[in-house]
Chains A and B, each alone.
Chain A
Amino acid sequence: MNFPRRQFLRDLGLSAATLPFLSGLPSLTGAPTPQRRQRLIIMFSPNGTLPQDFWPDQEGENFELKPILKPLEPFKKRTLILNGIYNRVRGDGDNHMRGMSCLLTGTELLPGNIRGGGGNPAGWAGGISIDQEIKNFLQSQPNTKTRFGSLEFGVAVPNRADPWTRMSYAGANQPVAPIDDPHQMLSKLYGRMKDKDSLVSILDDVQADLKRVTSKLSARDKSLLDQHMALVRDLENDLKEADKQSSLPHRIPDIDPSLELVNDNTPEISRIQIDLLVNALANDMARVGTLQYMRSVGMAQMRWLGVEEGHHSLSHDPDTNQDSYAKLLKINQWFAGEFAYLAKRLSETPELTGDDSMLDNTLIVWTNELGKGNSHTLDNIPCVMIGGEKTFGYKMGRSIRLEQQPHNRLLLSYAQSFGHSGLKTFGEPTLCTEGPLILT
């Protein structure tokens, strides 16, 4: 039933005028739900990988992690490495563009005016991305609905909007911008609560001030300020009441307010963003998350790794350039380390329901827009997953080699794991004829 919001408020005896303020008071978590909270986080890093040092040599359960994936060692038994995922989407735009904007949408780019390093100019992706598709599905049902549904995190994403910089789409032509400023994300998540705390802290002083000035006034003027005083008292009581009603299972994280968003602070920002993401999911504000590092063709200078050159330039160098190769190895290892940290934070955080950890119910996926930087191939795009055993049913602790499977099938598989069984194909239907990848 479609229940008109105004009608609902009227029934509660609230006028529309109180609405903006009430909605500012936190009912952040909603009602607790007894079901397992199934979650998906997709992490992106750009410019391809180094296949030799990424893909395990062995298939099956007995495999060894190559140097890039070494940081995942503690989670090896809960890791699934998928080789053979191909981005088969063609059409306008260069490989970086399509690698990025088709990565989660599986659709061709629309015609547009963005010139790439090859191919025709192109525009935004022509369809919704899988994270948003799953979010919409979860938000459509009361027992999986959360305040935000999905959260789009970024780390060091340049402030520009183009097909290299967006992987999430709410629909055709509707890119979703990741938030790469931890302050902005914090205020999106908890801003109103923090404001409320600040407000509570000054209301006593406002009352004292009112009392002081009122004593000097004529009876007639005094009555106005007496009314004012009563309203301030009401506000204080309302805020206290709201406090009682909403206690968060996980406290609001603190962020150094003077943290600057500059390249050299990326390692710190990355950890803060991961902590915020885990915290927000722990407080059940969303069930789907994306974590986007830089952008396709990103030129981050990872000086904290001793790398002065921009990432994308390095990725173009031939494999024989040992210096560049060593640097790219470091860069990709660093991303793996961040991915491992995400897994670690989830594994350390217990679920409120049951005795499992968040990682048991959360599938985290690390992917990339290219298979290899210097060839710009869209074949064998990196795909590593950890966790989610209890809710996704994927068999973990394996390294699998698939036969050139369109990545649309993988995206469809995520959706169906959430019970979104009405979805029969995803993105370009012709790339999905064989249904979802079976990973059980």
Chain B
Amino acid sequence: MRNKTFWIAYLLLLVAQLIISNFFRVTPYIMLSILPVMVLCIPTRVNTLWTMLIAFATGSTVDLLSEGVLGLNALALVPVAFLRNAVIHLIFGEELFARKEDFTLRSSGFAQVGLALLLVQALFLAIYIWADGAGTRPLPFNLYRFLASLGAGVLVSLIPLNVLASESRQ
């Protein structure tokens, strides 16, 4: 995917997230979000500083245009952006950065990409659910919500992952 096309896809997925946030609230136990995978798939040539700024802007846009507590998505998404390079280093190794390449489903395999997706999704949800509960909800509720949202989120994120981490991104 060429650079311009990536960002168009990114914006379209942002719109998709707005639709999910506003119309797909099935149960309080599930919080669907594709924002972590969107941040994870931002090309590696975009440095951490810019990734964080993009994540902050993305989260704030979703917060502003959807129901919910303003700032929560931004609060949970910035740490994903901050740790994104560390996650990529951990799972895909140093070579990716050395070759200035991005991970793709084909080059890195579903297992590695899926693990990276799981990690960023877990980080995002942990912060989001913790801040959303504000210490008022019992731990079992938060735990069920986290696990259910993680499972659903990873499944839903496979679609944007397939779009953003395709071979043509290089």
Q: Does chain A bind chain B?
A: no
